[in-house]
Structure 1
Amino acid sequence: MLDINSSPKQPTRLTEWSEGSGCGCKIAPAILDQILNASGSFTQTDPNLLVGNSGKDDAAVYQVSEEIAVINTVDFFTPIVDDPFDFGRIAAANALSDVYAMGGKPIFANAILSWPVEKLAPELAAKVMEGAKSICKTAGIELAGGHSIAAKDPIFGLSVNGIIHPKKIKLNKGAKAGDLIFLTKELGVGVLATALKRQKISEEDYAKLIDTTCSLNSIGEVLGNHAEVHAMTDVTGFGLLGHLIEMCEGAGLSAVIELQKLPMIAGVQEYINQFIFPDNTYRNWNTYSDKTKGVVGMDLVKLCDPQTSGGLMLAVDPAQLDWFLQAMSESKQSIWQIGTFVEKAEQVVEVLV
C-alpha cells in the first residue's frame, strides 16, 4: 500500500480536510436545482448570453462579435489527493475541461484558493499553485491571477476563460436519435480517490489516478470544429449516469448503454468488491435511479461513481463513424463506444448487462 506519510515533503494528509474528495463534494443535483430555481437563476434576458444556467451546460458562453464568443467557467473543490502539487494539477485539469467540453480554446485562468493558514503551511498552498501552473503551461495558457481567503477548509480551483466561434459551440443537449455515445477516459476516479483517503490504495493504482485526472481533455477543442459531433459534455461529480441523463433530457431522448463496454480503470473493481467507493455514489443513484432500468446490484457504482477531471462524453453521427475513429486515431485519443441515443422511452437510460 502507498505510505502517504513516508515522504518528508508530505507531512500533512490533505484528504483529512475533506469529507468529499474532488468533484464528489458537489451539492446533490436535486438540491442544486432547488437553489437555482428559487434564486431565479434559470431566467436569462441578455440575448448575447448564448449559454447560461438554463441548459445545465459546462460553462457560460457570451457572444462579443460575429466570430467570437467568450467561454467562462469556475470550478473548485476540496482535496482529492494528499500531495499538494498533484492536487493543484488535478484541479486545474478539471477546470480546463469545462472549456474543452464546449468545444472551446482556453486563453487564460485565475486561481481560487481557500487555505487554513494557521493549520496548514503556506508552502503547501504554494505547491498547489505550482501544480496548477504546470497544467496551465501544458494547455498553453497563463495562470494570470486569482483570489484567496483564509478559511477552515483547503479549497482550490480555477476560473477559466476561453474563446469559440458562436456557431461551433458544443452543447450537452444536441444529441440526435441514433447517435453513438463515446467516452474519452476510463471511469473509476471516485473509487480510487476513496481508496486513497482510506489509505488502501496501492502505489500502482495511485499512479493511475494521477495519470487519469491530470490528462487534459484538449481533444474537445479539436471536436469543436466538427459538426459530426452533435453534443458534448464532461463526466464529473454526477457520475456517468447523471451526465448522460442531462444529455438525454436536454435533447428529449433516451439512451441505451452496455455495461460491459464501460471503460474502467484497471484495478477499480477490486476496490468496489471491498465496498470502497464514495458515499456520494449513493447520492447520485438516489437522484437518478427512477429514470433508469437494468441496473443490477453493485453495478450502480460504475454508473454513479463521481468523477473528478473525467473524460468527455460525445454524441457522434453514426454515418460519420469511420471519419470519427480515424480522427481519434490520428490524434492519439483513446475512445470507447458505450451505447446509443434513442427515441424517448419510458425510462431515460436503459442499461444492458
Structure 2
Amino acid sequence: MTTKRLTQYAHGGGCACKIPPGELEAVVAGLTGPAAPQGPGELLVGLDDGDDAAVVRLSGGMAVVATADFFTPVVDDPYDWGRIAAANALSDVYAMGGAPIVAVNLLAWPRDVLGMELAAEVLRGGLDVAREAGCHVAGGHSVDDPEPKYGMAVTGAADPDRLLRNDAGVAGVPLTLTKPLGIGVLNTRHKATGESFPQAVAAMTQLNRAASEAALAAGAVCATDVTGFGLLGHLHKLARASGVTARINAAAVPLLDGAREALAAGFVSGGTRRNLDWVRPHADVGSGSEDDLLLLADAQTSGGLLVAGEVPGYPVVGELIAGRADGATLEIR
C-alpha cells in the first residue's frame, strides 16, 4: 500500500481544489428561495452569507447542523488522508458551535487503478477520527471515478441560542486563530516532491472540538473555520457578512515549521493565488509583502477556527473594527 502515491492521481490536493470563491458565489447566487418551504423546522443559517454549515431549528429547543465536505488526496498515506478528510468535514459543525452526531462516507474511487485495500484504509482513517469525535459513522455512498475523492456528510446538534455564525461579528473585539497557517504550501511541496511533513498532518488531523468549546465558553458568537479560501478569504466573508472591517497583524499569525521555506521554494498552489486575487480588491495591504499575503491567503485543509473574540490558550491575530467608508473589509498590517 505504500508504493502508490495517492497525490499523483489527483489534479490538485485537499481544499486547494475548491472552486474559486468568486466563481462559486456566482453559481449559487439566487438559490435561496423567495419563501420558506413548509416543513418541520426553521432555517436559521443557509446560503445567504456562505457560512460553514446549514442550521435548522427544531421544536424542543434544539437545532440540527448539516454539512458535507470531500476532496482529492492531500497526502499519500491513505489512512492519514481519511483522518484528514474526516476532521475537515467535522470542522464545519464545530465552526457553527455544534457537536457532530452522525456521518456518512462519500467515496469516489478509480477501482481499476487503485486497489480497494487502499480505499479500506481511507475509510478506516475516517472512522477512527469520527470515533475520536464521538460521532457515529453509518454507511455512505461510493462511485467509480477516475480521480479518488473522500469526505463525509455530517449531521450535528447545537443550541440555537448559542451558535457561532459568520455574520455576528462586531467592532471592538479581537480575532483569535486556533491553528497555525502553512498547511497549503507544505501539502503542495509534499505533492511535488514526496517529502513528508508530520507537523502538517498533525495540524490537519487535530479536531476543532476543543477550540469550539473554548470559544463558546468565552462567550463568542461569531466564528468560521479556515480552509480552502485561506485566512484572508474566510475573514473577508466574515467581515462582509458582519458589516465590519477586519484588521490582521501579519506578524502575529502563527505558521507551521517549514512554511516560509516551502513558500520561498515556490510551492504555492493555484488555489492560494486565486484566493489572493479574489480578496485583493477588498483589502488595504499597507506595506505587507507579497510573501506575507500569500501565506495569509494559503489554501488550508482542515485548518483552525477563526473566532471573533479572545479565546484563552490561542493567539490573537487581529481585531474587528468599524466598517471603512471605502468598503474595504480587510486591513493587513
Q: For this structure pair, what is the TM-score category when the shorter chain's length is used for normalisation?
A: over 0.9
Q: Deviation per CA, 1:17-68, whole angstroms, max 9, x where unpaired?
A: 1122100000011111111015x24756247111111121100111111411
| Structure-to-structure mapping, 1:207-218, within 5 angstroms | 207-218=198-209
Paired position in structure 1 for 2:304: 311
**Which of residues 229, 237, 245 is equivalent to 1:238?**
229
Q: Which amino acid aligns with 1:17?
A: Y
1:230 shift after superposition = 2.7
Q: Deviations over 1:95-122 (max 9, x none)?
A: 0000000000111100000001011100
Alignment partner, residue 13 of structure 1: 5
Is the aligned partner of 1:342 residue 2:327?
Answer: no
The total of aligned residue pairs comes to: 326
| Letter aligned with residue 339 of structure 1 | G
- CA distance, structure 1, for counterparts of residue 123 and residue 71 of structure 2: 14
Equivalent residue of 1:71, what SS? Answer: strand
Q: How many angstroms does 1:303 deviate by?
A: 1.1
Question: Where do 4+ consecutive residues of structure 1 move more than 6 Å?
Answer: none
Question: Match for residue 136 of structure 1?
Answer: 130
Q: Percent identity?
A: 39
Of 272-281 and 121-130, the range deviating more from structure 2: 272-281
TM-score when scaled to structure 2?
0.94
Cα–Cα, structure 1 residues 197 and 42, in superposed 2: closer, same or farther, change >3 Å? farther
Whole-Å Cα distance in 1 between the matches of residues 64 and 134 of structure 2?
Answer: 17
Name the SS of the counterpart of 1:147 in structure 2. strand
Question: Which residue matches 2:250?
Answer: 259
Equivalent residues in 2 for 1:123-272, closer than 5 Å: 123-199=117-193, 201=195, 203=196, 206-223=197-214, 225-226=216-217, 228-272=219-263
Structure 1: distance between partners of 2:49 and 2:279: 18
Bigger mean CA deviation after superposition, 343-352 or 92-101: 343-352
The answer on whether the counterparts of 2:223 and 2:308 sit within 8 Å (CA) in structure 1 is yes
What root-mean-square deviation, in Å, do the aligned CA atoms of Structure 1 and Structure 2 show?
A: 1.5
Distance (Å, rounded) in 2 between the aligned partners of 1:69 and 1:95: 18
Q: Give the partner amino acid of 1:149.
A: V
CA–CA separation in structure 2 for the residues paired with 1:42 and 1:260 = 43
- Partners of 2:145 and 2:133 lie apart in 1 by 30
CA distance in 1, matches of 2:332, 2:60: 42
Using the TM superposition, name which of 273-282 and 121-130 deviates more: 273-282
TM-score by length of 1: 0.89
Structure 2 residue ranges without an equivalent (≥5)? none
* 1:254-291, Cα deviation, whole Å (9 max, x unpaired): 01111100110011111111111212111111111011
Equivalent residue, structure 1, for 2:17: 25
Separation (CA, whole Å) in 2 of partners of 1:255 and 1:336:
16
Residue deviations 1:157-212 (CA, integer Å, cap 9, x gap): 000110011111110111110110000000000001001011163x4xx1101100
> 1:44-193 maps to which residues of 2 (within 5 A)?
45-46=36-37, 48-193=42-187
Give the residue type in structure 1 aligned to 2:67.
Answer: T
| Matched residue type, 1:210 | V
Partner AA of 1:349 in structure 2? L
Deviations 1:212-247 (A, max 9, x none): 000000025424644721301100000000000111
Q: Are 2:258 and 1:298 equivalent residues in the alignment?
A: no
Higher mean C-alpha deviation, range 213-222 or range 27-36: 213-222
Distance 1:273 1:350 in 2: 24
Structure 1 CA distance for aligned equivalents of residues 146 and 116 of structure 2? 14
C-alpha distance in 1 between matches for 2:214 and 2:34: 29
Where 1:27 maps in the other structure, the secondary structure is coil
Structure 1 gaps of 5+ residues are 1-8, 329-334
Separation in 2, partners of 1:298, 1:66: 50
